[in-house]
Structure 1
Amino acid sequence: MENQKLSSLQLELLNVYSFQPDEEDLFAIRKLLADYFSDKLISRVEQAVSEKNITEEDLNRWLNE
């Protein structure tokens, strides 16, 4: 089996979990991560829509395919 190195994010999360956060803190951390990646995705979609002149109609059609 090949040795796999942990990413910076994985190492940072291990540091957080080493402090034994309670359920409330874990929920808050999960929400922060979800919000961050959601915002990042929305930003990228908005950029692609702008650059490629994609309309709301196009997006709705793709969602329903």
Structure 2
Amino acid sequence: MKFGIIGIASAITELVDDHSSIGRQIESIEVDRMPNIELQDILAKAEFQVRKEIVFDEKSQI
């Protein structure tokens, strides 16, 4: 049986801290960072979806 763990972290250990048996068998795939323009587009779409009840400012963007 195979399964995947997907998440955002600065290290694999952050993702699997509570699952030591997984940590022993993990094989990681590194993915390049998304360009800032794409991140800003995602945040703009999120703001639209919640009718601007949540708004991300420049400081909260990566």
Could you state the TM-score of these two structures normalised by the residue count of structure 1? 0.33
When you count helix as a share of all residues, which structure comes out higher? 1
Q: Which fold has the larger relative contact order, with Cα–Cα distance below 8 Å and residues 6 or more apart in sequence?
A: 2
Q: Which structure has the larger Rg?
A: 1
